[in-house]
Chain A
Amino acid sequence: MFNYIVRRLLYSLAALLVVVTVTFLFMHIIPGGPFQREKALPEAIRKNIEARYKLDQPLHIQYIDYLSHLIRGDLGPSYKYRGMTVNDIIRERFPVSVELGTVAILLALFLGIPSGILAALHQSKFPDYLVMFFSTIGIAMPSFVIGTLLMYFLSYKWGLLPSATWGSPQHVIMPAIALAGLPTAYIARLTRSSMLEVLSQDYMKTAIAKGLPRRRILWVHGIKNAIIPVVTYLGPLVAGILTGSFVVENIFAVPGLGKHYVTSIYNRDYTVILGVTIFYCVLLIFMNLLVDLVYPLIDPRIKLAERKEQV
């Protein structure tokens, strides 16, 4: 177990270095720089700015300089937001994304899993059709359409909720639903198919034959096994929701990190682009590792150390 984790972490570190290098290079290849203005700056001022951020140094010096700061956990100053460091920006913005993401994920789990089970237990009957109907809509409809519809009805037409911005529980509801749409639908489908598979297993039949109460069969033998694919999906989902909420954050003016990430590319805010990429990368690596560590707890047949030898 310990060896496994160490090995995984070492691989992750190598992956991270590749990501940093590629992002760094691509960032400098795109035309335009962080201090290119529509209104041209006098030469002397442009030089002052470049000297301040060491942009006048050769690229490889900038790269080494960046890495040496990175090792100390210093992601550098933002070029666009003067006086703020990238660490500040992540510290300020990420909790908002976490808050919104947590609610969305819980929503997706609490709606997705039960409806998937319901559909599987009533296969090819009305509840199944109903769940599949809504989950098809959920998968097909992009989050910004859900978001716009919610805003139109819930706040504009009926005045039930504030339309945008952040700061109270009411503000979380609409963006969380918009964000949860796709994962809810996906989890429902995943749970349904995996539940169907589990229900047809021999041990389920044995359990029924032994005369165990139906409720116990479902909970202990059925759902626990059916839920494994959902756990697999949960790792990338958490990372995806925390990083990919740009559109929803924009519509509802949620001051999260996703929006910042995308605008930093337009702004050529080099340090923010790099810093947030690294942060997201670490997050993704960590979530995947976490999921892998959780498997053996749910399914004793999975053993971490053995996985490599099995390949």
Chain B
Amino acid sequence: MRKSVVVLALLLGLALLVAGCGGEKAATEQVIYYNVGTEPETLDPALMTGIPEFHMTLQMYEGLTRLDADGRPQPACAEDWDVSEDGKEYTFYLRDGLKWSNGDPLTAYDFEFAWLRAMDPEMAADYAYMFDLIEGATAYYSGEGSADDVGIEVIDDKTIKVKLVSGAPYFLDLTAFPTYYPLHQETVKADNEGWHLKPETMIVNGPFKLVKREQGRLEYEPNEHYWDAGAVKADRLVFYTVEDINTELTMFENGEIHMTHTVPGAEIPRLREERPDELHIFPYLGTYYYIFNCAHEPFNDVRVRKALTMAIDRKAIVEEVTQGGEMPAYAFVPPGIADVEEGSDFREVGGDYFEEDLEKAKELLADAGYPNGEGFPPFEILYNTHDMHKIIAEAIMEMWEKNLGIKGITLRNEEWGVYLNSRDEGDFDVARAGWIGDYVEPNTFLDMWKTGGGNNNSNWGDPRYDEIIEQLTKLSEPKDRIPLLHEQEDILMEAMPIMPIYYYTNPMMVSTKLKGYLYLATGALDFKTAYLEE
């Protein structure tokens, strides 16, 4: 027996040894710690679809353009570009002496290679449709055309010409998007599926390069071959992938990270009191809303939809329920997108589309045949499993019951995959939804409501609305596009197949020491010029 105790003791010692040694850090080094909130699904820019992955790659890659703090595309790999008269042909001129992180020269061919690879039907990339603007791209990824017919032409090592199917002012935004990053051909060709799994084969062209990828963290160091290496100040970036948001907050309050990716809603009132300088409520290009299933009675009646929309108290929802500094929404497109005039905002120009008006709501409901909610058929509110969605649904249910006298509302909560399925199959009466813009133009919010469109679960459609979508594909100038987009939102909000609730915000904790980082409205963080101030 004594022997086995000794063996056990040895095992314990071994287990502790296996646990390994902790990372010691030099005091003078500028190391920025951030929690990105989840494990990366992939670090292959062609295949990624999520914001966390965008964060992770934005530090190591750079497209032809890079977005500045206001979300405007700035010259990056491309020093300059020409746009043809009709806005359909872009010629990009690369900077002199661009290099990959291993010192290899970076050429226009690396862009062509990466883009065609992302469109390749064999790769089956989600975001292949990000190339829809380029001539022949849709046909290629649909298996109906060939790579040779895609409108990308490399003139020489430093010049690349792109032909578009229509002019689109946001093409320069797209060239900053991960799907448009160049790739290091040699390493990617050597291991098409797995090259991004190891730092050694992850050859990049951005401000930082990946030096470690292991057990719940990513580590970056500056890339000395980056063309703007002088602007990079941090010595190291450490990204944790902690998913539990309460743990994340504890890490921040413990001084283990300089920035969180979000903040638990329930903690915001306390943090406002205790750490006002560190709690930041960033804008976020997104809208939280409810969809009415317009194929179900009584939601096929616009008066019912309007009555319900007017009968909730959005201010109470954002101030007492969500508490994250969200803004009540009285339209669908959130603020933060430029209108035609310099410095004007699409939302401000468009204004609010409705008011919360109980008398009016009751009147509309009576007109629709349900005075004081009498005879209103019982219905369900569908949401995906999440505390916040649940509390919001409870609050709205109570408001509808109290304000309009509707009875028989039930809540239906489904796990994410099941919920998406129910929405896609139209198996709901009223469903919770949220939409985050892909790029900073109202189109990213409006083109989804096309009749029968894959994202339009409302069963609502309007011929004029679809006509505008068609017209927009041929227009590139904001002065031509924006009025049409306003008209679209007018139609949408007049029919009200959706009930806007609030515009999203992105609450984050940021150490007062951390400076120089960029927060983009689409939710991406750029640490290129970030540093710590003692």
Contacts and interface: CB of A to CB of B under 8 A. Distances in A.
A204 B104 CA distance: 79
A254 B1 CA distance: 34
Interface in B18-56: 18-23, 39, 41-42, 44, 47, 49
A166 B251 CA distance: 13
Contacts of A156: 250, 253-254
Given A32-B417, A52-B124, A83 B142 contact: no
B486 interface: no
Contacts of A267: 417
Contacts of B194: 83-84
Contact of A36 (B1, B39, B122, B420): B420
B453 A250 contact: no
A172 B416 CA distance: 32
A37 interface: yes
Interface centre among B47, B215, B415 (most CB of A within 10 A): B215
A156 B215 CA distance: 23
Nearest to A41: B126
B15 interface: yes
Contacts, number: 170
A208 interface: no
A32 B1 contact: no
Given A155-B250, A164-B242, A165-B240, A36 B421 contact: yes
Contact of A165 (B42, B47, B217): B217
A40 interface: yes
B141 A44 contact: yes
B215 A96 contact: yes
B254 A45 contact: no
A296 interface: no
Contact of B15 (A106, A148, A259): A106
B328 to A, nearest CB: 23
A249 B256 CA distance: 18
Interface string A67-103: 0000000000000111110000000000010010011
Contacts of A203: none
Contacts of B271: none
A82 B418 contact: no
A190 interface: no
B124 A45 contact: yes
Contacts of A32: 416-421
B197 interface: yes
B84 interface: no
A198 to B, nearest CB: 14
A155 B254 contact: yes
A162 B257 CA distance: 11
Contacts of A259: 243
B240 A169 contact: no
A145 to B, nearest CB: 13
B389 to A, nearest CB: 13
B1 A224 contact: yes
B1 A168 contact: no
A82 B45 CA distance: 11
A305 to B, nearest CB: 25
Nearest to B457: A40
A44 B143 contact: yes
A102 B454 CA distance: 49
Nearest to B415: A266
A133 to B, nearest CB: 26
A51 B254 CA distance: 48
A64 B42 CA distance: 28
A257 B250 CA distance: 23
Interface centre among B16, B44, B240 (most CB of A within 10 A): B16
Contact of A109 (B8, B41, B216, B217): B8
Interface string B98-126: 00000000000000000000000111111
A49 interface: yes
A44 B454 contact: no
B247 interface: yes
B454 A51 contact: no
Contacts of A51: 124
A249 B121 CA distance: 38
A267 B44 CA distance: 19
Contacts of A40: 424, 453-455
A295 B194 CA distance: 46
A23 B445 CA distance: 39
B196 interface: yes
B41 A38 contact: no
B326 to A, nearest CB: 19
A110 interface: yes
B193 A83 contact: yes
B21 A168 contact: yes
Contacts of B216: 165-167, 253-255
A170 interface: yes
Contact of A172 (B19, B128, B142): B19
A30 interface: yes
Contact of A38 (B8, B241, B420, B422): B420
B1 A219 contact: yes
Nearest to A144: B244
Interface string A196-229: 0000000000000000000000011001100000
Nearest to B2: A219
28 contacts: A31-B421, A32-B419, A39-B455, A40-B453, A41-B126, A48-B121, A48-B124, A52-B122, A52-B124, A82-B41, A82-B193, A83-B44, A83-B197, A163-B247, A164-B247, A165-B216, A165-B217, A165-B251, A166-B215, A167-B20, A168-B23, A171-B19, A171-B22, A224-B1, A253-B247, A266-B416, A266-B417, A268-B417
Given A48-B124, A106-B11, A163-B251, 15 more contacts: A31-B417, A40-B453, A44-B141, A45-B126, A48-B121, A82-B44, A83-B197, A99-B18, A99-B19, A155-B254, A162-B256, A163-B247, A169-B16, A255-B215, A266-B416
